[in-house]
Structure 1
Amino acid sequence: MKIWRLVIVTVMLAGCSATEVHLYTRYLSEADIDKVTTTLEQANYKVTTNTHAFPDTVNQSTILYSPFIKDETHLQGLIGSLSDNGWVIPNVEMLKSGNHWYSKDNVGLFLLPDGVKPKDKVTTRDLASKYQSRNCDTLVALELNEDNTYELSYSSKAVTHSEHLKGSWKMRSYPYIELTSLNRQWWFYFEIEQKIETDKISEVSIIEFKPLNQYTSFPGCSFASGVRI
């Protein structure tokens, strides 16, 4: 049955420009990403992956599609290909969710493994970003990279030592993260806080790191990053 479904989908799409699927991989394992990508490419879909955050309204596996999609049977073929590989898609919506728009002949594919909800879990991919200091007089940026390295950079302070500026980071046990310098002589511990703030334009989803101790390198500073909702 799976083979015949794949054949039907392939024939249906033959001769047509491939529908582009934007696969949001934030909550997927590498094995899941490879399997889904291979399955969809074999069915003649063009797959583009990203690690962007999910819209706040998406809390189950979802397809968001453009109203300009050339043939809605492509959606049925996409749903069928995913179903054959164990991914049930309970939610299919047109055009827009949160700040995510889809134009031309493309769709957004948001996959959530069983038991995972975006608001219940923070992953290393959620935390990998650039953060600015707040609640202190020191202007310093903290960048957490997806390869679990970090870098601190100061805007207006003469740095008397540099050993703490680069190192590695990890989520010790949610909601706590640990930064360790390259020479393993500096350790910084923070508590992760997620919240919504509102400025003059709109609401902003904030991730803030609250220091668990007073650190002389950035006294009193917390670090925050925000995304408009």
Structure 2
Amino acid sequence: MKFLSIIILSISLFSCSSTEVHLYTRYLSDSEIKEISKNLDESNFKVVTNTLSFPETINQSTLLYSPFIQGENTLDILTNSLSDLGWAIPNVEALVYGNHWYSKDSVGLFLLPEGVKQKDKIANQDLANNYESRNCDTLVNLRINKDNTYQLSFTNQINEQTDHLKGNWKIRSYPYIELTSFNDFWWFYFEIEQKIEEDKISKIEIIELKPVDTYSFFPNCSFVNGVRV
């Protein structure tokens, strides 16, 4: 009987260990990612992290699981492990959510700290992206980084002055974003706008940064980032 119990336990652990947890880390700190990954690894899960955007309809911590998940207690083990770290999972669903599909023995774990994302605002993490210039003759790329730094790069323009190209950014008062050069000499202000555009292929979720003033380095340029939906 004891031998049989050991076999059953071994099968249970084997099933759990084969389950991949796709951890969406976009709204987590480095220390949270490390702690969660360590805890799930000790619970015999294989953790795969990514920084992808959440489906628009997810506004609370959510667990999406495959119908092929192994072990009838796998989801309980996973949610209990997260609960031990103070992460409650109010939403657990099967199969598909938006464009996110989980097949085989895997789950998608979207952890969203309470209050970090509001429907009428864009979270700082979602602003971190590459933006291309629009409505102007100057080809410019604006990189908004997660560490609250920015970088401007011009494709066809050579300018001896470069101190405006790098600096820090912050949300001064939503929906306005402020870019300040490292030497505190240059300030650029943009209004954040969310909208849906559509081409012949599909709809596109757009974040557009519209200039509050006319700036000589990129006159009348706005900056856009788009994700197909």
TM range (shorter): 0.7 to 0.9
Question: SS at 1:75's partner residue?
Answer: helix
Runs of 5+ unmatched residues, structure 1? 1-8
Counterpart contact for 2:63–2:109, Cα < 8 Å: yes
Give distance in 2, aligned partners of 1:18 and 1:173.
46
Q: TM-score, normalised by structure 2?
A: 0.84
Q: CA RMSD in A?
A: 2.4
Partner amino acid, structure 1, of 2:126: D
Counterpart contact for 2:16–2:45, Cα < 8 Å: no
Change (3 A) 1:91 1:16: closer
Q: Could you tell me how far 1:71 is from its partner in structure 2?
A: 2.8
Give distance in 2, aligned partners of 1:176 and 1:198.
25
Partner amino acid, structure 2, of 1:134: R
Give distance in 1, aligned partners of 2:73 and 2:98.
25
Q: Which residue of 1 aligns with 2:5?
A: none
- Are residues 1:52 and 2:56 paired? no
* CA deviation map 1:19-58 (0-9, x unaligned): 1211222233445434333322221112223222110121
Partner amino acid, structure 2, of 1:130: N
Counterpart contact for 2:17–2:46, Cα < 8 Å: no
Give distance in 1, aligned partners of 2:44 and 2:82.
13
* CA deviation map 1:182-209 (0-9, x unaligned): 3322111111111222222111111111
Runs of 5+ unmatched residues, structure 2? 1-8
Counterpart contact for 2:16–2:70, Cα < 8 Å: no
Partner amino acid, structure 2, of 1:213: D
Decide which moves more: 185-194 or 36-45. Answer: 36-45
Counterpart contact for 2:116–2:123, Cα < 8 Å: no
Change (3 A) 1:179 1:226: same
Question: SS at 2:28's partner residue?
Answer: coil
Q: Which residue of 2 aligns with 1:13?
A: 13
**How many matched pairs?**
221
Q: Which residue of 2 aligns with 1:73?
A: 73
Partner amino acid, structure 1, of 2:202: S
Identity level (%): 62
Counterpart contact for 1:10–1:43, Cα < 8 Å: no
Q: Which residue of 2 aligns with 1:3?
A: none
Question: SS at 1:152's partner residue?
Answer: strand
Counterpart contact for 1:166–1:182, Cα < 8 Å: yes
Counterpart contact for 2:60–2:114, Cα < 8 Å: no
Question: SS at 2:77's partner residue?
Answer: helix
Decide which moves more: 180-189 or 114-123. Answer: 114-123
Q: Which residue of 1 aligns with 2:39?
A: 39
Q: Which residue of 2 aligns with 1:183?
A: 183
Change (3 A) 1:160 1:31: closer
Q: 4+ residue runs of structure 1 moved beyond 4 angstroms?
A: none
Q: Which residue of 1 aligns with 2:138?
A: 138
